Amino acid sequence: MPTEPDDDLVLTLRVNGDRRRLLIPANRTLLNLLRQDLGLTGSKHGCDVGDCGACTVLVNGAPRLSCITLAAEAQDAELLTVEGVAVGGALHPIQAAFHEQVAAQCGYCTPGFVMALKALFDERPDPTDAELNEVLGANICRCTGYTKILAAARQARERMNGRST
């Protein structure tokens, strides 16, 4: 095992199912890795200090704020970004619900909300309203006031559990 610090590191990971191998500086954040090195600009650059949630991605299934995560933390990890949520061109039920409920105005926060909710639904397929609120409280929206975002989250929950809305 190396005991001398690495200024650069070779990172191997899977991003939305694709295996990637990159040489990056040690101080690269996961967000900059996605946006600059991989051209995946769906994860948004908001507050830059972990307050707003716009940069949320899933690392091995767990939500992470990529702006305050070192890319090094994703070594050998399975990464899911908003670009990988729709499968085969069909919107994920969370995305469809945001669309149908018009749960976005400027839309900058939307990818973060989608990913935070994806992490929740993957773990708890039928969450309570309180659990939805807790997760929505991790992300900041400065346009819609959350009412429509909560409506979208509820609609996604109902549809994904086979209940009509």
List contacts with another protein (CB under 8 A): 1-3, 5-7, 9, 25-27, 29, 45, 48-51, 53, 56, 62-65, 68-70, 72-73, 75, 116, 119, 134-135, 137-140
CB of 146 to another protein, least distance (A): 11
> Whose CA is closest to 117, among 134, 101, 105, 102?
134
CB of 88 to another protein, least distance (A): 28
CA distance 5 to 57: 27
The pairing of beta strand 62-65 with beta strand 56-59 = antiparallel
Any residues with CB less than 8 A from the CB of 58 and at least 6 apart, and which? 64, 79, 80, 81, 115, 118, 119, 122
Q: Which is nearer to another protein, 20 or 45 (CB)?
A: 45
Q: Which is nearer to another protein, 18 or 129 (CB)?
A: 129
CB of 97 to another protein, least distance (A): 20
CB of 22 to another protein, least distance (A): 15
Residue 114 contacts residue 156 (beta carbons within 8 Å): no
